[in-house]
Copies of this chain bind each other. A is one copy, B any other.
Amino acid sequence: MSTLPDVRDLKPAGGKRSSKREQILNVFLNEEGHLTAEELVSRVQRDDRRVSRATVYRTIQWMVDAGIASRVDFGDGLARYERSYHHPRHNHLICNKCHRSFEFMSSDIEQLVDEVAASRGFSASQTVVQIHGVCEDCQHGRPAGSDHGLTDLLFARDALRMAIATERSGLEFYTRAARLTKDARGRSIFQKLAEEERHHLGTLEGRYAELLKRDPELETRPTFLFFKGAAHGLFAEGADRLLQGVDDQQALLVGIRCERGSHQFFKKYGERFEDSEGKQIFLEFASEEREHLDLLMREYRALVKRQGRRPRKGAGVPAARGTRQGRRA
């Protein structure tokens, strides 16, 4: 039961803050997973016997209205509530044996769900994805480890991992491009781009290291954010041949396309997520890519002004980063 440092300070509210509400809220926010109403009642009454069942129920309703809690339903007729404040939207794996549940998020599933809704002209407000079954521990008769509910941290971790993977594949790509490009000016552009990727990568890795300090076991925890098509196949293979005859203008155009793709990709997905640190990372990364993109575009325009626009040979600029290709695991 690790403490959740910053959460309690900012409590958004509405209505009065009474001592009872404060008490119930604190108990609720200190729980990791989700609780049924009755569970919350007994947790609260363990501290203070005088708090009545009705008040807890009413406070739950208030928390839901205020956006602090959200209701989840596992189909057993009990209403469960979980923190939604600073906690990304997610889905559940639900074990029928030990009755624990595990959180995950999959942008690919969300994407498909959106497409289904769109095709029916349905305006979706919330989607529920639940996997009911038997968890790994129960299958192996293991004692059921603790269910660490560090979802926000896991989300941040996975978002950073994705940004890092993207940056890395960008670095690789530009490095290879620099190696292959014959034109000296083109080559130097790619070298510069590679250098920038390296630098940015360093920043991201620093941030990742900092995240690890918050929880030493963070790296070994299971994947929270499932996301294909992010770091895989973002840079087209086989562009090698085409790069050989690329000059500085064309090299900049290649860079622009890559950065634009990356920016759009992270922006698009960052926007789908609920408020949380992971969303922050997505959007920050998107805007960093945007800045980089703007820089490249200014540079490109300046170059054109100096040199005049040269005809582009070969349309073979690699597909934008963020494109879904190479979808296989």
Contact = CB atoms under 8 A, between A and B. Distances in A.
Interface string A196-211: 0000000000000000
A223 B222 CA distance: 36
Given A129-B128, A129-B129, A135 B116 contact: no
Nearest to A96: B125
Number of copies of this chain that the complex holds: 2
B128 A116 contact: no
Nearest to A109: B112
Contacts of A75: 71, 73, 128
A239 interface: no
Interface string A300-329: 000000000000000000000000100111
B122 A134 contact: yes
A295 interface: no
Given A112-B108, A112-B112, A328-B324, A123 B134 contact: yes
Interface string A145-173: 00000000000000000000000000000
B96 A222 contact: no
A249 to B, nearest CB: 30
A99 to B, nearest CB: 14
B93 A117 contact: yes
A90 to B, nearest CB: 11
Contacts of A2: none
A117 B133 contact: yes
A177 to B, nearest CB: 25
B109 A131 contact: no
Nearest to A91: B116
Contact of A130 (B71, B128, B222, B329): B128
A16 to B, nearest CB: 28
A131 B116 contact: yes
Contact of A127 (B113, B121, B129): B129
A128 B127 CA distance: 10
A124 B131 contact: yes
A271 to B, nearest CB: 18
A112 B113 CA distance: 11
A125 B139 CA distance: 13
A285 interface: no
A57 interface: no
A265 interface: no
27 contacts: A71-B75, A77-B77, A93-B120, A93-B122, A95-B122, A96-B125, A104-B116, A109-B112, A109-B113, A109-B116, A113-B129, A113-B131, A116-B131, A120-B136, A120-B223, A121-B136, A122-B134, A122-B135, A123-B139, A124-B132, A124-B133, A125-B132, A125-B134, A126-B133, A129-B129, A129-B130, A324-B327
Given A73-B73, A108-B112, A123-B133, 6 more contacts: A77-B77, A116-B131, A124-B133, A125-B134, A128-B128, A128-B130
Interface of A: 71, 73, 75, 77, 79, 93, 95-96, 102, 104, 106, 108-109, 112-113, 115-117, 119-136, 139, 222-223, 226, 324, 327-329
